[in-house]
Chain A
């Protein structure tokens, strides 16, 4: 493990709005096939960190390497190519409202990767099949449940053959009953070897699947470690406090 090049590495990522630093000097690296989970209170910088990684938010400072190559001039074509390799899943799904499930998955293949309609359609159907939505491919977002929308968005990201996926609270906007279908899809992704960085409040799920938990608060990474350590034996009192509160909440909500 030590001599492998991490698939993604970020160093000293910093973002400030006015004089408020929303992300302070965050660094992390992730190897192929790993799943790292960002936890921490809302407004702690989880979303900002994820969005800085694919430049949806432009960081003020910080460096990013993908596959050992530094992403230097994040502009124009180079940026569009980099983003194709970094899939993103949003809390609010952000499906394109005017397109069916099938076309939501297909559009990136056709318009960004320049694939032909027929090949793109086959690929899109394949990805929808993978998240169990083949039978819903002709439905529009307004006709799908939240869980189905999120699974379409996972298929849409996967169709671009990303090397890593960023998941920004993928279940936070879902009805409790619909959470498990999305978690199942993420579990399946994990076992297929996809590298992922995910932020979530589903602490139980995080403990079960993550290689590492990263506790972020007030824009800073407070503590990093394997789930067992962070959840039950954290070094910092603040981490312990947060984990015990959220574990209790999770236990209540799942009963």
Chain B
């Protein structure tokens, strides 16, 4: 047993490379996920019947299909209709849509929890429907959805490991290569697992800071 195995230059650089790819997958996917979640969530609450039904269908599909299957469709399926995505692009697309579907559920619930009287007050002041949502209900819904949305981002960090299934070699992918070459499966995946643990811990810390920054008296009872 050589405890310094993971400090060998080639192993270390493979892990760093994998970590970097993972981070590049996670950050845009979580941002797009939140944007999709807020948009779809708002449309499912305030849209007309058709828009609501479309939103519900979106969530049904992207929450219902296994994520790996979704990734396979984006990467292996789309070329059949002439669209070629890189493994990285297909992964970000798959993660964003799936994450957005989950986020929209948290956001929808949060929008519904804003008291309707406030929307009446906004309209009585001359706010249009869109302005009411943007300036009155969204800022409140976002705060109330944040703990749930944060949880979803933690999930996303971990399911980003599925990207290697469509040859986007991120942290788990690099780990698999190292493990196969060295036959040190246990140690390798323990190290990989620990790196994900660090990532999720950092994310949880950032999210708690954000919740603190956005804290407003009167909102504590809802979170």
**A92-B117 in contact (CB<8A):** yes
A159–B135 Cα distance when bound, in Å, is 18
A92–B139 Cα distance when bound, in Å, is 21
Is B143 interfacial (CB 8 A cutoff)? Answer: yes
Q: Which residues on the B side are within 8 Å of A92 (C-beta)? A: 117
Give the CA-CA distance A244 to B126 in the complex, in Å.
39
B218-A143 in contact (CB<8A): yes
Set A76, A141, A142, A156: member contacting B125, Cβ < 8 A? A156
B126 proximity list for chain A (CB < 8 A): 80-81, 83-84, 108, 112-113, 160
Residues of B within 8 A of A98 (CB): 139-140, 143, 216, 219
Which A residues lie within 8 Å of B117 (CB)?
A: 90, 92, 94
A94→B118 contact, CB < 8 A: yes
Q: How far is A87 from B125 in the complex, measured between Cα atoms in Å? A: 7
Inter-subunit contact A97/B127 (CB<8 Å)? no
A140 within 8 A of B: yes
Asked if residues B125 and A143 are in contact (CB atoms below 8 Å), the reply is no
Task: Give A81-106 as 1s and 0s: 1 = Cβ < 8 Å from B's Cβ atoms.
Answer: 10110111010101111100000000
Interface contact A111-B127, CB-CB below 8 Å: yes
Band of interface residues on B: 20 to 34
Is A96 a contact partner of B219 (Cβ separation < 8 A)?
no
Residue-wise, chain B 179-223 has the 8 Å CB interface mask toward A (1 for contact) of 000000000000000000000000000000000000011110000
CB of B80 within 8 Å of the partner chain: no
B124 lies within 8 A of chain A by Cβ: yes
Contact of A88 (CB < 8 Å), options: B115, B124, B218: B124
Q: Would A88 and B121 count as touching, CB distance under 8 A? A: yes
Q: Is A148 an interface residue (CB 8 A)?
A: no
CB-CB contacts of A127-163 with B at 8 A, as 1s and 0s? 0000000000000111100000000010011001000
Q: Mark B118-156, 1 if CB is under 8 A from A, else 0.
A: 101111111110010001100110010000000000000
Chain B residues with Cβ under 8 A from A72's Cβ?
none
Give the docked Cα–Cα distance between A54 and B123 (Å).
9
Given A56-B120, A140-B216, A153-B121 in contact, is the A97-B140 Cβ separation under 8 Å? yes
Q: Which residue of A lies closest to B131 (CB)?
A: A111
- Name 13 interchain pairs, CB-CB below 8 A, sorted by A: A54-B124, A83-B126, A90-B117, A92-B117, A94-B115, A94-B121, A98-B143, A112-B127, A140-B216, A141-B218, A142-B218, A142-B219, A160-B125
**Further contacts, 16 of them, CB under 8 A, given A84-B125, A96-B121:** A56-B123, A76-B128, A81-B126, A83-B124, A83-B125, A86-B124, A90-B120, A94-B117, A94-B118, A96-B140, A97-B140, A97-B219, A98-B139, A108-B125, A111-B127, A157-B125
Name A's B-contacting residues (CB within 8 A): 54, 56, 76, 80-81, 83-84, 86-88, 90, 92, 94-98, 107-108, 111-113, 140-143, 153, 156-157, 160
